[in-house]
Amino acid sequence: MVPLSLTKSGEKVVVRSICGTGHLAKTLGQLGIIIGIELTIIQKAKESVIVRIGESRYALGAGAASMVLVEPRK
């Protein structure tokens, strides 16, 4: 498992864990970034990422990206 902030552009990953609770975890939850969901990394700029889930694209800053733990999709 690695944080989203350490993935590479173009990778397809599955969310395994979301660190912490509170507003950030809830905000991610409302956007559909939940455990078990598949993400495609569209862009990686330093530790910030743009991910795609189905039809939606989200930008996550370094802080948010480091809280989402993922592993490569098999």
Partner 1 sequence: MKDIRILFAGNPNVGKTTLFNSICGVHQHTGNYPGVTVEIKTGKRQINGHSIIVSDLPGTYSLSAFTPDEQVARDALLSSGPDVVIQIIDATNIERNLFLTTQLMEIGLPMVIALNMCDLADEQGMTIDADCLERNLKIPVVRIVARKGEGVEELIKTIIQVSTHKTPAVHRAVEYPHSVTSHISEIGNYLSAHASLLGSLSPHYAAIRLMEGDEHLEKMLHEKGCTIPFIDTTDPAERDGIAEDILLARYKISEEITTCSVQCSMGRVMPGDLIDQVLTHRLFGIPIFLSCMWFAFQLTFSASNPFIVGIEYIFGYFTELMNSVDMDPLIRSFLSDGVIGGVGSVLVFVPSIFVMFLLLSILEDTGYLARAAFVMDRLMHSVGLHGRSFIPFLIGFGCNVPAIMATRTLQSRADRIITIITIPFMSCAARLPVYVLFAGVFFGAAAGNVIFFLYVLGIVVAILSALIFRRLVFKDEPSPFIMELPPYRKPSGFAAAVHMWFKGREYLKRAGLVIFGGVIVVWALATLPAGVEYGSADSLVGIIGQVFQPVFAPLGFNWQLVVGLIFGFIAKEVVVGSLGTLYGGEEMLESSLAADPTLHPIIALAYMVFVLLYLPCVAALGVIRQEMGTWKWTGIAIGWGIFVAYVFAFIIVHVGSLFIGA
Q: Which 3 state secondary structure label does DSSP give 73?
A: coil
Q: Is residue 17 at the binding interface for partner 1, with CB under 8 A as the rule? A: no
Question: Which residues from 24-53 bind partner 1, rule CB under 8 A?
Answer: 24-32, 34, 42-46, 48, 50, 52-53
62 φ/ψ angles, rounded to the nearest 5 degrees: -55, -45
Residues with Cβ within 8 Å of 44's Cβ and at least 6 positions away in sequence, in order, are 7, 8, 9, 50
C-beta closer to partner 1: residue 22 or 74: 22
- Please give the Cα distance from 62 to 65 (Å, whole number): 5
Q: Which of 9, 16, 19, 73 binds partner 1 (CB under 8 A)?
A: 9
> Rule CB under 8 A: which residues touch partner 1?
9, 21, 23-32, 34, 42-46, 48, 50, 52-64, 67
